[in-house]
Structure 1
Amino acid sequence: MSEQLPSSLLQQDSDSRPYWEGLAQGELRIQRCASCSQAVFYPRSLCPHCHATTLEWIVASGRGQIYSYTVVHQAYGAFASSTPFVVALIELEEGVRMMSRLVDPPDEHIQIGTAVQIVFQNVGDDLTLPYFRVP
């Protein structure tokens, strides 16, 4: 991946700061509700399952499977030079889904249900993003 992304493209606030700090340290942090035990992603201050404010941060395994995906053939800006690339919806072992890029996709056809593992890539000044690859 050759694009350099300015960190100003991504909103970091008090709810998401532990997530971004974790990525910089090579950890995928998600939230878990202390009231209902459900995993939560994207970062927020209120549990979407039970509406409690008892969200705690945990380190996710970084393993999951492809739930859905698309191949991007046309992009603009910092992404234009990287086409084609795969954007996938990853279902993590912890039960939440997150959208990310699939790096080094296999030559054969990508399939829903394929196991993936997280990789952390520095893509700009003080900006690390979670991508996934087939192990």
Structure 2
Amino acid sequence: MSDALLSPVLDEDGAPFWEYAARGELRVQACAACGELRFPPRPCCPHCHSFDSSWQRMSGRGRIWSYVVPHPPLLPAYAEQAPYNAVVVELADAPRIRLAGNVVAAADAPLNSVDPARLRIGAGVKVAFVRLDDITVPRWLLERT
């Protein structure tokens, strides 16, 4: 992956997440028995222990639950993109679900395209998808500019 540098781990449980992302959809695994949402994806519901699941479409909106601007970058390959952010986003329609990612100025913008001073805990974000080499990944855009 040229731009993302760290590639997502693709496994059987998470494969549908990436397939939906390639279509521009943010979906979260849901238990078909009790309806509880879960992320990261896994074969068994931690609430009722059912192995039946489906994928529920999310609105793609959330808020910054936490963030960090690594100083210096933790991995040498990221040095050119510093200062960049790493965020944890709490989904608006599933507050117990949190996804890691980056806030960028546009889906295909570099990781350092948003001034870290603009980031705030609780700031509204919306998902945007970008194709990087052979996988489509979600990134986050600030809702208010």
The two structures have a TM-score, normalised by structure 1, of 0.84
User: 2:5 and 2:37 mapped to 1: Cα distance?
Assistant: 29
Indicate if the aligned counterparts of 2:83 and 2:116 stay in contact, CA closer than 8 A: no
Q: SS at 1:80's partner residue?
A: helix
Taking the TM superposition and a 5 Å limit, the aligned residue runs for 1:1-135 are: 3=3, 5=5, 9-73=7-71, 74-93=73-92, 94-95=94-95, 96-104=97-105, 105=114, 108-124=117-133, 126-135=134-143
Indicate if the aligned counterparts of 1:75 and 1:83 stay in contact, CA closer than 8 A: no
User: 2:34 and 2:115 mapped to 1: Cα distance?
Assistant: 38
Deviates more, 1:46-55 or 1:59-68: 46-55
Q: SS at 1:79's partner residue?
A: helix
Distance 1:42 1:107, change over 3 A: closer
Deviates more, 1:26-35 or 1:113-122: 26-35
User: 2:4 and 2:88 mapped to 1: Cα distance?
Assistant: 22
Q: SS at 2:85's partner residue?
A: strand
Deviates more, 1:104-113 or 1:18-27: 104-113
Q: SS at 1:72's partner residue?
A: coil
Identity %: 37
Aligned length, in residue pairs: 131
Q: Structure 1: which 5+ residue stretches go unaligned?
A: none
Q: Structure 2: which 5+ residue stretches go unaligned?
A: 106-113
Indicate if the aligned counterparts of 1:88 and 1:99 stay in contact, CA closer than 8 A: yes
Cα offsets for 1:35-84 (capped at 9, x unmatched): 22211111111112222212211221110001111112314354332111
Q: SS at 1:116's partner residue?
A: strand
Which is richer in strand?
1
User: 1:10 and 1:79 mapped to 2: Cα distance?
Assistant: 16
The two structures have a TM-score, normalised by structure 2, of 0.79
- Aligned-residue CA RMSD (Å): 2.1
Deviates more, 1:105-114 or 1:36-45: 105-114
